[in-house]
């Protein structure tokens, strides 16, 4: 059963990576549309805001995929100098701390999302959309990142993965 959950989560991280790539393409399209609109003399309101929202969505949705692919910067200077048993203890400690802080990050983004929904906050840009819409992707991405870090901690403890 654990293997099925592991495979599902890895595929889910890959899926969120694809969604992040889609939002990155949207950033490029919004910027190119803004450039073209200046050249041809028309104005599309809200392009800068939508580009920023898409960049935030891309960044946070890519966290879990990047972490799973070992793309995040990991400081291994001290870990390389330690012995096998002590190294595993240090790695478990590092992953525990990372799990705690990623969980805290996720908690506060979800709390921010709930407050924005509760008060009906709108963006200050020209489009005045509800701010919870772009915050949704940030909260979702940070939650998936927390799940990914916790998942990798479990894999490390159960000796299914070596880092």
The pLDDT assigned to 78 comes to 72
Rg of the chain over all Cα atoms, to the nearest angstrom:
20
Q: Does 110 fall in a domain? A: yes
Q: Does 9 fall in a domain? A: yes
Non-local (6+) Cβ contacts of 82 within 8 A are: 90
Q: Does 163 fall in a domain? A: no
Question: What is the phi/psi pair of residue 95, to 5°?
Answer: -70, -35
Nearest to 131 by CA among 147, 115, 143: 115
pTM to 2 decimals? 0.89
Written as six digits, the tokens of 5 are 């959950």
Q: How many domains is the chain partitioned into structurally?
A: 1
State which residues form the domain around 47.
2-157
pLDDT tens profile 140-162: 999 999 999 999 999 999 876 65
pLDDT tens profile 37-65: 988 988 888 888 999 999 999 999 999 99
The pLDDT assigned to 136 comes to 96
Q: Does 162 fall in a domain? A: no
Q: Does 55 fall in a domain? A: yes
């Amino acid at each position: 059963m654990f293997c099925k959950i592991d495979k599902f989560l890895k595929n889910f991280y890959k899926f969120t990576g694809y969604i992040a790539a889609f939002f990155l393409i949207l950033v490029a399209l919004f910027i190119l549309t803004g450039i073209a609109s200046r050249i041809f003399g028309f104005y599309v309101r809200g392009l800068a805001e939508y580009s920023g929202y898409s960049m935030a969505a891309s960044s946070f949705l890519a966290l879990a995929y990047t972490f799973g692919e070992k793309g995040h910067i990991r400081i291994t200077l001290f870990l390389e100098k330690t012995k096998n048993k002590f190294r595993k203890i240090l790695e478990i400690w590092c992953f525990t701390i990372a799990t705690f802080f990623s969980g805290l990050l996720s908690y506060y983004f979800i709390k921010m999302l709930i407050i924005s929904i509760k008060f009906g906050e709108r963006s200050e840009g020209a489009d005045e959309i509800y701010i919870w819409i772009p915050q949704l992707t940030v909260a979702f991405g940070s939650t998936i990142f927390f799940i990914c870090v916790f998942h990798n901690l479990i894999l490390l403890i159960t000796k299914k993965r070596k880092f």
